[in-house]
């Protein structure tokens, strides 16, 4: 699965591609990055039970979850910013979906492989038959989790994400500025 760097870049790409339709752009950009990172908040549930990986790639990595949260956020944000609910529902949903799609395209070396992308309709885990992004190595124990993230393999994964997703951000900016 990609790192927060990769997911954040995907959220930025959504922002830049759609920015001409958005108001309060700085805050909206942050909200779209949040939506792109949102499914990984399942780590917080794992931290609460001293097993950071325990709930990862479950229901929070489903299209239903990200679109439901996106619609809720869009309703709040559209009311606050006096703009179209439809536009914000779409961009928040797409930003959240980018997380699910990127994770599908990543190597996954821990059981269960993949994510429950169709929860609540299916509890099956899905993953693409090929990987574009590297897996992220991380410990399961609380005392070693954070230090385990800072290894050469994970830095290579971030480099690859920037290499692959950076051009999407640049291209989105070009499209959004037309």
Q: Where are the domains of the chain?
A: 4-40+59-133+142-173
- CA-to-CA distance for 66 and 52, rounded, in angstroms? 21
Q: What pLDDT is recorded for position 121? A: 97
| 165 touches 133 (CB < 8 A) | no
pLDDT at 24: 83
Count how many Cα atoms sit within 13 Å of the Cα of residue 116 in the half-sphere of its side chain: 18
Per-residue pLDDT of the chain (178 residues; tens, 9 = 90+): 899 999 999 999 999 999 888 888 889 999 999 999 999 999 999 889 988 888 888 899 999 999 999 999 999 998 888 888 999 999 999 999 999 999 999 999 888 899 999 999 999 999 999 999 999 999 888 889 999 999 999 999 999 999 999 999 999 998 877 7
Rounded to 5 degrees, φ, ψ at 78 are -65, -40
Three-class secondary structure of residue 21 per DSSP: helix
pLDDT at 120: 97
Tokens 């499209």 locate to 175
Calculate helix-pair angle for 85-104, 25-37, nearest 10 degrees.
40
pLDDT of residue 53: 85
What does the chain come to in residues?
Answer: 178
What local confidence, expressed as pLDDT, does residue 97 receive? 98
- Token reading at 148: 């385990």
pLDDT at res. 140: 84
pLDDT attached to residue 25: 86
Which DSSP symbol is given to 135? P
């Amino acid at each position: 699965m990609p790192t927060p760097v990769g997911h954040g870049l995907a959220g930025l790409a959504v922002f830049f591609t759609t920015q001409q339709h958005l108001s309060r752009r700085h805050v909206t950009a942050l909200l779209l990055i949040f939506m792109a990172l949102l499914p990984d908040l399942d780590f917080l549930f794992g931290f609460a039970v001293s097993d950071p990986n325990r709930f990862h790639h479950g229901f929070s990595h489903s299209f239903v979850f990200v679109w439901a949260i996106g619609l809720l956020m869009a309703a709040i944000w559209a009311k606050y910013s006096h703009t179209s609910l439809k536009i914000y529902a779409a961009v928040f949903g797409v930003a959240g979906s980018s997380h699910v799609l990127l994770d599908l395209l990543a190597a996954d070396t821990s059981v269960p492989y993949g994510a429950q992308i169709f929860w609540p309709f299916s509890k099956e885990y899905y993953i693409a038959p090929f990987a574009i992004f590297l897996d992220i190595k991380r410990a399961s124990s609380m005392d070693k989790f954070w230090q385990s993230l800072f290894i050469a393999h994970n830095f290579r994964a971030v480099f690859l994400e920037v290499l692959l997703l950076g051009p999407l951000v640049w291209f989105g900016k070009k499209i959004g500025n037309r």
